[in-house]
Amino acid sequence: MNTFGRLFRLSTWGESHGPAVGCVLDGCPSGLELTEADVQCELDRRKPGQSDVTTARGEPDSVEFLSGVFEDRTLGTPVSMLVHNRDADSSKYRDFIYKPRPGHADLAWRMKYGHVDWRGGGRSSARETVGRVAGGAVAKKILQKHRVQVVAYTKQIGRVKSGEVLDSSMKGVADLIESNPVRALDVDVARSMVDEVKVARKKGDSVGGVVECVALNVPPGLGEPVFGKLTADLAAGVASIPGVKGVEFGLGFDSASKPGSEVNDEFTYAGGVVRTTSNNSGGIQGGITNGMPVVLRAAFKPTSSIKKRQHTVDLNLKKNSYIQVEGRHDPCIVPRAVPVVEAMVNLVLADHMIISGNIPRKL
C-alpha cells in the first residue's frame, strides 16, 4: 500500500521525525543516465525554507543513491534513495499526544494503528512526499528522452485565481514558475497570492489552493480500459497526495453544466495528423490519451496546522479541550505541492509508457 505503479513502481518509506525518509524505485529501465544531481534539483524545489511563505524547518534534503545506479547509469535493478531527516524537532508535538489536531490524521491514525508516533506527523506528514519527488525525478528523466514534458503550477491560492495559460507550447514556462515564490504562471497574480498567504499567516490561519498540471507530447494510446484508465491512475496518484480533496481533468466539474455540443472536442486534420480543435477532455478520451496535452487540476485544502485556537478533545482526560498548533508549518502548502503533483504525473506517465511499450526496458 506504500507502493505505487504497475511496472514502474515506487515504494516510499519514512516518518517525518524518524532518522530518514526515502524510496525504492523498481522497474526503472536499464541504461538511463542518472546522477544524484538529477534528483536533487527536484528535491530542492520541494524542500522547506525556500521562501518566506514556507515553513522554516531547515532540511537540506540531500539525496543518496544506495543501489540501482552504477557509473551514472541505471542497472535495471531497484534504485534505493535515502534522505536523512536533519532538523526534526519533536518538542512542539508532545502536547498533542492526547489532543488530536483538527484537520490532521492524528485521530484516524490512532484508531487504525493503536501505536502512535507522537514525535510529529509521522507517516501522514507531507514529509512523506520526499520519496515521491525523488522517484518522480527519475520518471521525468525517462520521459524527457521521449520529449514528454510535465509542468505544474499554482492556479489558485485562497481566493486569488490565475488566468488561462496563454501559450500552448509552454516555452519558458518552467523558468517562469520558479521565478516567483508561489510557482504561479502570472507574476502579477503571484504577488496577490503571496499577500493572500501572508494575511492568513498573520491571522494564525492558513489557505488552500489549486494546482494545475499539463503534460505535453504525450503519445496517443496510453491508458488501459477499463479500471486502468489514465484518468483512474492519475486520479489515484494525485488524490493520494496529502491535502488533496479533489481532482479533475480538462473542463472537469465545469463540464457538468455545459451542453455536449460545447464540451465535445471536434476532430480536424492538421498537417496530416488528426487533432481536436478544443481540448475539453484534457487529452484523455475513454481513459486513453489522444495526443493532445493532458490537463488536470488538484484542489488542496488549507494547511491543517494553524495557530488559531480550535476545539478538540483530550483523549487522556476524556473531555473536550482546546488546541493551538504551534510549530514550523507552511501557511499554504500549495507552492511546495507543485513539484509533488508533477512527480505523481511523471510517475503515472512513465509507468504507462512502459506498459504500452513506448519505452523499452533497456535504454
Chain residues 229-268 in contact with a copy of itself, contact rule CB under 8 A: 229, 231-240, 242, 244-253, 255-261, 263-268
Query: Which residue's CB is nearer to a copy of itself, number 2 or number 144?
Result: 2
Burial of 194 (0-12, 13-18, 19+ CB in 10 A): buried
Our CA angle for 164, 343, 175, nearest 5°, is 50
Give the shortest CB-41-to-a copy of itself separation in angstroms.
22
Residues between 266 and 325 that touch a copy of itself (CB under 8 A): 266-269, 274, 276-277, 280-282, 284-291, 299-306, 308, 310-313, 315, 318-320
CB 55, min distance to a copy of itself, A: 14
Amino acid 140 reads K
Verify binding: residue 38, a copy of itself, rule CB under 8 A. no
Amino acid at 5: G
Q: Assess contact for 123 and 331: CB atoms under 8 A.
A: no
Between 149 and 156, whose beta carbon lies closer to a copy of itself?
A: 156
Interface residue with a copy of itself among 45, 57, 104, 141 (CB under 8 A) is 104
C-alpha cell at position 77: 535493478
* Residue 116 · residue 13 · CB < 8 Å: no
CA angle 197, 200, 205 (to 5 degrees): 125
- Least CB distance from residue 76 to a copy of itself, whole Å? 4
CB of 164 to a copy of itself, least distance (A): 17
Cβ 126 vs Cβ 243: under 8 Å: yes
Residues 61-100 that bind a copy of itself (CB under 8 A): 64-68, 70-71, 73-80, 82, 100
Residue 27: CB minimum distance to a copy of itself, A = 7
In the complex with a copy of itself, the residue whose CB is nearer, 87 or 205, is 205
Distances (CA, A) of 301 to 177, 211, 239, 273, 287: 21, 11, 12, 41, 27
Report whether 28 contacts 47 (CB < 8 A): no
d(CA 282, CA 290): 9
Q: Is the Cβ of residue 48 or residue 68 nearer to a copy of itself in the bound state?
A: 68
For a copy of itself, the closer of residues 174 and 239 by Cβ is: 239
- How many chain residues are in contact with a copy of itself, going by CB under 8 A? 150
Residues 120-179 that bind a copy of itself (CB under 8 A): 122-124, 128, 156, 158-159
| Sequence-distant (≥ 6) Cβ neighbours of residue 235 within 8 angstroms | 247
Q: Specify the residue, 19 or 172, whose C-beta has the smaller distance to a copy of itself.
A: 19
Minimum distance between the CB of residue 149 and a copy of itself, rounded to whole angstroms?
20
